[in-house]
Structure 1
Amino acid sequence: MTAPVAESVVRLSWEGAVAVVTMDDPGGRNTFSSGLTSGLVDSVESAVADPRTRAVLVEGRPELFCAGGTQRELINFAQGNGSFDTDDFFRVFARCPLPVIASVQGHAIGGGLVLALYADFAVFSERSLYAANFMRYGFTPGMGATHLFPTRFGRELGTEMLFSARNYRGAELRERGAPVRVVRHTDVPAAARELARSVSGAPRASLELLKRELAAPLLADTGAAVAREAALHRTSFRLPEVLERIVAGYGDPVA
């Protein structure tokens, strides 16, 4: 059973008790277009509304999980029109009342990687690229990244990722001791599905109780981080060179 959502850039299907949400927008390169963000939220809500669902698995395209914000969105922010804290769709996985597993087989860049880090579990590819590239364009990180990166990757590595804004292959994250699961590229979908099945055997009510308990601190901590980050953005996004960098350098997200 498959339900089309948001102009078909996000698909929802089921594999037993696991709802599978697939972000597939080749034209928009899996960036945060309105179709992808609204489709993502709608798909997760539809998955939760179905009584058979016990876990939600989210995946992107085989070579690109998500590339984060669109150039137009970032230009708007640099021009003072909106900010990362005006719509926190990116916390949809943390707000989901059921466990969420991110199958991050393809590259996850900037906000796309932050999105994945809000899942309860994530499986990464050893060959794909992962980056917190905010500072590459001269503005400070957003979306709760200042809390998530040190928490999920370890303080030293997570802080380095935020400051350097460089690309890290999954294999390097594993070699540097990041406490995340990294497997061969072709093994990511199967590993993520095995993980999803392993957490979907309990009664739904118990799954919801445990998710609520574990997600509450994350939502509180990232909510506070997003507010602090928004204050930083009021300075960093106004720097003249930031708009110049966004306009000149917003090319291939995996270059």
Structure 2
Amino acid sequence: MDIRITHNGPVLDIQLTRPAAKNALNQAMYHTLADTLIHANQSPETRVIVLRGLPEIFCGGNDMQDFVAISQGMADFHGERFMKSLVECDTPVVAAVSGPAIGIGTTMLQFVDVVYCSPSAVFKTPFVHLGLCPEMASSTELAKLVGPRKAKEMLLLGATMTADEALTLGFVNQISQSPDDAAFQCAEQLSQLPPKAMQISKRMIGQQEKTRLLRTIEDENIELIQRIRSDEAKEAVSAFLEKRPAKFS
């Protein structure tokens, strides 16, 4: 099982559990995540969602084998649906991040409400290195969270953001030796508050931006699919899988 879903009363615990692939997300996982978020957002029994990975890694980004399949003509069936389901989720989401959060492992956190990370957490978006482009509205939203200079450093150079940087820049709420425990404590607190007031308040905070964000995700993904199928990306992904330097003519 690559995703473990547990209901703890009003708290829904979503844990990525694919250690052999460093918690990289494939189409099946995107499908499960999207369905789970959509159902949770419609369920009055679910008041808070906790999203977490494993002690050694939060998320290794998109599955490279999926990139290969998409480059050969497979459609992205569920990746965009997951992105939109998180943006449209009115139920509060708390994330616990331990270890690396790569690619979409970082960009999904833009739309989480509270983030706790371990001292070992690192955030990285190596899109250009793979011949790709920003996704999940990171082309517009990451700079708002970490500032334009750091965002460009991450999105263009693939630079790493450390846990300390993430806290200083406001990308995470707190560094914790046990981010899972901190996330569940926060979730318990949130679950005791009036649920309708919570959902309405979250919706009001983001409602003016939601249509634009969904359109941005769509536009980015059109370009992303074209990039995945480009010669640059095919060479970059092949080099990554073959553990060799990429060669761009």
TM-score by length of 1: 0.82
Paired residue for 1:60?
Answer: 53
Q: 1:164 to 1:46 in 2, by over 3 A?
A: same
Amino acid at match of 2:231: P
Q: 1:230 to 1:23 in 2, by over 3 A?
A: closer
Secondary structure at the counterpart of residue 45 of structure 2: coil
Paired residue for 2:218?
Answer: 227
Aligned length: 243
Partner residue of 1:41 out of 31, 34, 49: 34
* Offset of residue 239 of structure 1: 4.2
**What is the Cα-based RMSD across aligned positions, in Å?**
2.7
Give CA deviations for 1:141-191 in whole Å, capped at 9, x if unaligned: 12222123112222222222111112222123335x34422413x321122
Identity of paired residues, percent? 23
TM-score by length of 2: 0.83
Secondary structure at the counterpart of residue 66 of structure 1: coil
After the TM superposition, list the runs of 4 or more consecutive aligned residues in structure 1 that deviate by more than 6 angstroms: none
* Offset of residue 101 of structure 1: 0.9
* Offset of residue 244 of structure 1: 0.6
* Offset of residue 243 of structure 1: 0.9
Partner residue of 1:22 out of 15, 27, 33: 15
Q: Map 1:200-239; keep pairs closer than 5 Å.
A: 200-230=191-221, 232-233=223-224, 236-237=227-228, 239=230
Secondary structure at the counterpart of residue 21 of structure 2: coil
Paired residue for 2:175?
Answer: 183
Q: Distance in 1 between matches of 2:184 and 2:209?
A: 24
Unaligned stretches of 5+ residues in structure 2: 244-249
2:67 matched to 1:74?
yes
Contact map agreement 2:27 2:78 (CA 8 A) in 1: no
Unaligned stretches of 5+ residues in structure 1: 1-7
* Offset of residue 54 of structure 1: 1.4
Contact map agreement 2:107 2:138 (CA 8 A) in 1: yes
2:2 matched to 1:9?
yes
Amino acid at match of 1:187: S
Paired residue for 2:103?
Answer: 110
Paired residue for 1:4?
Answer: none
Amino acid at match of 1:163: L
